[in-house]
Structure 1
Amino acid sequence: MTKTINIKLNKRFYSLAGVVLALIAAVIFSLVYFGVYNVSALTGHTTPVYKFLEHARIQAVDARVDEQVPDLTLFDWQRSGLKNYQRHCIACHGAPGVAPEPFSLGMMPPPSAIVRVAGQRSPAELYWVIENGIKMSGMPAWKYRLTQEELWELVALVKVLPTLSKAEYAQLADHNFAIEGVESVLANQQDETAIMQSSLAEPRATQALSGQVAMQQYNCSSCHVIDGIASASYHVGPPLNNMVNRRFIAGTLPTTRENLIQWIMDPPHFKPQSLMPNLRVKRNHAEAMVDYLYEIADEK
């Protein structure tokens, strides 16, 4: 008798819970569908939305992070790490005594204060975020632009930043700037070689997937419809789903694998009047993109 009562109570509980969840989903859908929720960055997120996004970010990173961390003292954070931080990170996150750029102050959600991030997050978590980026936050993924060593250099620097005074950071930055002025050409060549070697080390079997991700990272879907990549509804360029079966690329080059690679790397070189800009796509990334274009193409 008691068991029967418990079963009935459990059924009622789950039914009630289902109704409540359905009502919550209906309310959220209505807020979005009828434009009730204001997406203006001037108003900011409501506290529930902000907390939801923050919790989702924390849980997602914790579920995927690799806790194996190398010795951070072995990485050149004073020079290479600082160079990349000033080139890619300081505009949004600032530094000791250095304010972020004005555009980042209006981002929503705002970029995290670097001192807080360094104190709250482990090196493994910082590495994952820098490598993979965070959706809906403005934080880009640097996996396709920096080597693994450069990523760890940034992690090492971020962990040190909270310990630096304004004067110490300024002195380190000035010293680094002076050295970079002398070695800039050589450094750029070394960076390009390192990135190329790192990317080419990937197994060939992963290239198709990497091509899809590369197209996302170079923002190809902002102008083109591409199978497998979600994007905005309106595009200024032609769809790429059957690009490899067209006779010519932009009416200029015969469509071959090599020509597609060359076109992706530098469109204005082949067609100066083209609206497609030079995105500085590295060759190994262009090769991966073309592999993906062949994968999604219709068979002739």
Structure 2
Amino acid sequence: MPHLVAVQLASSGRSVIAHVLGELRSLGYEQAGRLDGSVGWEELFAAATTRGLFGGRLFYVVDDADELGPFPEKFEEWIEGKEASNVIVLVYGGKCSAFPKKLMGKMDIVQGKDVPRGQRDRIRAIEELAANKGLKMTREAALLLEEWVGDFEELEGEIEKFSLSGNAIVTADLVRELSKDEGARAMYRLLDGVCTKDAITVMLALRQLEDRMELLAVISALYNRLRLAALVSSFGDQCLDALNAKFYQGKMAREATKHYSKDVLWRSVAALGLCSAAEKMGLGKGWLGLEMVLLEMIRTQPPFSDQLLP
């Protein structure tokens, strides 16, 4: 007879399922099958109990369990506790209300976590995740992670990397070193290097990106970052809220305004826009064209010579 585990998904997505299945595997269970709610309770219990007669410790995963409907009273006596040789993992899209209260003591209800929506709440949640791993995370590191990792489900995996690194304190430099793949890290080094007017970092990042990312994606990221800086230089910080800019994006936009004049920023935005259009039409100069735009921007004050505009 099976034990039931009901997983109630939240905005955090399906990472909670992976955690539940990992726990079952660590206890010696093997996955026997994956079904959906269209099978019905009778077919589900028939499969689970029949396989249990011939196999070891097995579990079934049932997606869209909401479609199963209310739990039939005739199967209530079939439910076993945690010692059962078979487990049925029922995945619900939201709150599970299919079972009577008297069964709650025999089954497990696993509640997924809601993803914090506000930036302040997200950053606090990141810091709490780190603290749960025995790590202290600096504010700048949390801000950087909040920008880099758009999918909150990925955060636990990223923080796990930090815990394995042997560093008790997670700094922004450690985030840049370990978080994401090499292409993504090179992209952020390029964006930050341009904003801080660091020519060496920019050139090294460009070399790394040539074999790892599409040129148009890099141009687009630079355009968005420098457009934000240009708007800040023209209209002040109030435009950051209007554009829903993340804290770290706003911070680096303000940093760029310390190193470049308003004219340089707007000319660079225009040059990147023209560079993108030229590449799409097959008339661009490739990575060399982007390099020329960035180097002219970094070395020139006041702005560009007209000859280097695409």
Q: TM-score, normalised by structure 2?
A: 0.27
Q: TM-score, normalised by structure 1?
A: 0.27
Structure with bigger strand share is 2
